Amino acid sequence: MKINEFTPDSKIFESNSVGNVINKENNDSNVFFTILKDKLNEVNNKQISAEKFTSDFIKGEDVDVHEVMINSEEAKMSMELAVQVRNKIVEAYQELNRMQL
> Measuring CA to CA, how many Å separate 62 from each of 6, 57, 68, 90?
66, 7, 11, 43
Contact partners, residue 95, CB within 8 Å, separation at least 6: none
Which helix or strand (DSSP H or E) is residue 66 part of?
helix 65-98
**Is 76 in contact with 47 (CB distance < 8 Å)?**
no
pLDDT tens for the chain, 101 residues long, are 343 444 444 454 455 544 454 555 567 778 888 898 999 999 999 999 999 999 999 999 999 999 999 999 999 999 999 999 999 999 999 999 998 87
